Structure 1
C-alpha cells in the first residue's frame, strides 16, 4: 500500500513539473538534455543561467520539446 502511495505522489510531482514547464515555454531555448524513453537528446541553443536550478526538464528528463517531435519509424510499427 505504501509503495502505491509513493508511486502516486511521484506521478503527481512529475505532472506538476510538466505543467510548470508548459507555463514557461522560453526555457525550451536553454540547453538541456531530454530523455525520450530510449535515449538522451540535447535541446536548446542558449546557455542556462549560472544558478543551480534545473531548467527545461522534469526530474525524469521530460521536456516540452519531446511533444513536438515526430514519432520514430520503429515506434509506429509497434502500434500497428
Structure 2
C-alpha cells in the first residue's frame, strides 16, 4: 500500500510541475521554494490566496529548475 501511495504522490508532483512549466508567468508571484534552510524567496507580485500557485506541494518551482540548469550549463573550468 505504501508503494502505491508513493507512486500516486510522484504522479501528482509530476503533473503539478508540468502545469507550472506551461504557465511560466506564475513564477512572478511571491513564493518560497525549497525546504528548510535551502528555501529561497522568488517572485515580485503579491498573491491573494492561501498559497502561491507557483509552487508544487513539495516546494518545487520553475525558478529552481532554471537556476539548476544555469549551473549545469557553465563549464566545469569556469565555475
Aligned to 1:41: 40
* Contact residue 33 and residue 60 of structure 2 kept, 8 A: yes
The structure with the greater share of residues assigned to helix is 2
* Contact residue 29 and residue 52 of structure 2 kept, 8 A: no
* Contact residue 30 and residue 52 of structure 2 kept, 8 A: no
Once superposed, which parts of structure 1, at least 4 consecutive aligned residues long, lie more than 6 Å away?
A: none
TM-score, L = length of structure 2? 0.78
Aligned to 1:24: 23
Q: How many residues align?
A: 71
Give the CA deviation at 1:36: 6.2
TM-score, L = length of structure 1? 0.77
How much is the aligned-residue C-alpha RMSD, in angstroms?
A: 2.3
Q: Identify unmatched segments of 5+ residues in structure 1.
A: none
Q: Identify unmatched segments of 5+ residues in structure 2.
A: none
The alignment status of 1:62 with 2:60, answered yes or no, reads yes
Distance 1:36 1:67 in 2: 15
Give the CA deviation at 1:37: 8.0
Distance 1:35 1:43 in 2: 10
